[in-house]
A and B are shown apart, each in its own frame.
Chain A
Amino acid sequence: MPRLSAGRRHTVRVTLNGRAVEGEAEPRMLLTDFLRHVLGSTGTHVGCEHGVCGACTIDIDGAPARACLTLAVQADGATIRTVEGLAPEPGRLSVLQDAFRRHHALQCGFCTAGILMSLDIYLRDTPSPTEQDVREFLGGHLCRCTGYVPIVAAALDAAQKLRGVARDA
């Protein structure tokens, strides 16, 4: 790759929620801003912008990661999933999203996109977590509405349902 000069925009190509997309970014542009302002995917939220709050957590190449701690140019060529990619079809929620609704695991919703992306990957890799496991994993996210209890309940409920789905398949 040639040296990308400061102050100029360069083409960044990613696979976003299964679609090949591209946009222009200066080297200093954070991936959060690239997703929201360039690609128009505003489901990913920007909170603290230094990696603490977890609101911007997305799936980069199969692992949960902070979009605000990643430069758009670093992500060139990456496969990215965001909250917009969770629902199986318009009007239908994923198992995890549905559990969040039933358990009132959100109130203002600002932190929700990040937590959903984290948990979506976590439950794929850890199908039978304990409550303590879930709490430890959620340590990477801040929620100021719920007190976390309903989020933990939703995650455990979703895990159980997803295990059922996996068994039936």
Chain B
Amino acid sequence: MKPAKFDYLRAGSLAEAHEALAAEGPDASVIAGGQTLVPLLSMRMARPRLLVDIMHVEELSRISVQDNAIRVGAAVRQAALLGWPELAKRQPLLAHALPWIGHAQTRTRGTVCGSAALADPSAEIPLILVALRGEIELSSGKAKRRIAAADFFTGLMSTAREDHELVEAVRFPCAHHGEGHAFREFARRHGDFAIVACAAISDANGTRLAIGGVADRPLAQDFGTLDGSALDDALQDFAMELEAREDLNATAGQRRDLVRQIGRLTIEEARACRV
């Protein structure tokens, strides 16, 4: 299991990274932490002609708060965000979910934006971005744009990013006062890919639940203030709409059942956490 041949460019600046992506387009891949990409290279599921390493572009390694959102640059590692002192205060849902990404030994290298860019349907970062109505910042040498997470994730490992664009940052909206949050995940072992992952946000107007690991991308739905059997029925409809995948870990039916059961627990926990 060795990668096929590729050129390697360690970009020294954002402009250099943009230039390489503009010149090579579909034949280039950005490499950041490599925790998802290197296995894809080794298994030859990805065969780029050029890898553009962005980890030495200083301006991409910042975490900041802008317009009431946490802006995380493309070179910020998952462990760095987890260690950011303001995380639990600014967005508790993100603080709950980050320890579920891979293992401590992969979070030290893997980046937040890399997880978004590669869009694994079981991954936690895309799920949280969709749950919170976050945004993805895309840039090229010519232009910048911001796109809602729900529009960015378009399917299995696929996104609305154009070949010449870089995922420059992601934005997680900060928590509003009085919101309750909950995150739950089911996997065979902690650290494995999620079979079903649930994230819920609850406020006075209702509760929003996002599900990962079931459809080909994370999807969210608002459940208002439904409870009792009405909530069960709504969860049942949502579970059917997700068109669950079947794989070695679980059948589609098991996944739907987990959405109903764990989805409900997550909604109830988020409601109970409201202050």
Instruction: Enumerate chain A interface residues (CB-CB to B < 8 A).
Output: 1, 3-7, 26-28, 30, 33, 49-51, 54, 57, 60, 63-66, 68-71, 73-74, 76, 118, 122, 136-137, 139-141
Bound-complex Cα distance A118 to B8 (A): 29
Bound-complex Cα distance A30 to B1 (A): 10
- Smallest distance from the beta carbon of A41 to chain B beta carbons, Å? 19
Contact B38 A71 (CB under 8 A): yes
- Smallest distance from the beta carbon of A149 to chain B beta carbons, Å? 17
Cβ-defined partner of B106 (8 Å) among A7, A26, A140: A140
Task: Closest A residue to B10 by CB, please name it.
Answer: A1
Q: Return 17 A-B CB contacts under 8 Å, by A number.
A: A1-B12, A4-B8, A28-B2, A28-B41, A30-B38, A33-B2, A51-B38, A51-B102, A57-B105, A60-B109, A69-B35, A71-B34, A71-B51, A73-B8, A76-B10, A137-B104, A139-B191
Contact B106 A66 (CB under 8 A): yes
- Chain A residues with Cβ below 8 Å from B6 are 6, 27-28
- Smallest distance from the beta carbon of A65 to chain B beta carbons, Å? 5
B 1-36 binary contact with A (CB < 8 Å = 1; else 0) = 111111111101000000000000000000100110
- Answer whether residue B55 sits at the interface, using C-beta atoms and an 8 A cutoff: yes
Instruction: State how many residues of chain B have any CB contact under 8 Å with chain A.
Output: 35
Bound-complex Cα distance A7 to B3 (A): 12
B 235-275 binary contact with A (CB < 8 Å = 1; else 0) = 00000000000000000000000000000000000000000
Contact B191 A50 (CB under 8 A): no
- Chain A residues with Cβ below 8 Å from B178 are none
- Answer whether residue B221 sits at the interface, using C-beta atoms and an 8 A cutoff: no
- Chain A residues with Cβ below 8 Å from B120 are none
Contact A28 B5 (CB under 8 A): yes
The interface centre, meaning the residue of A27, A74, A76 with most chain B CB atoms within 10 A of its CB, is A74
Contact A54 B39 (CB under 8 A): no
Contact A66 B109 (CB under 8 A): yes
Contact A136 B190 (CB under 8 A): yes
Contact B105 A74 (CB under 8 A): no
- Smallest distance from the beta carbon of B100 to chain A beta carbons, Å? 11
Contact B35 A51 (CB under 8 A): yes
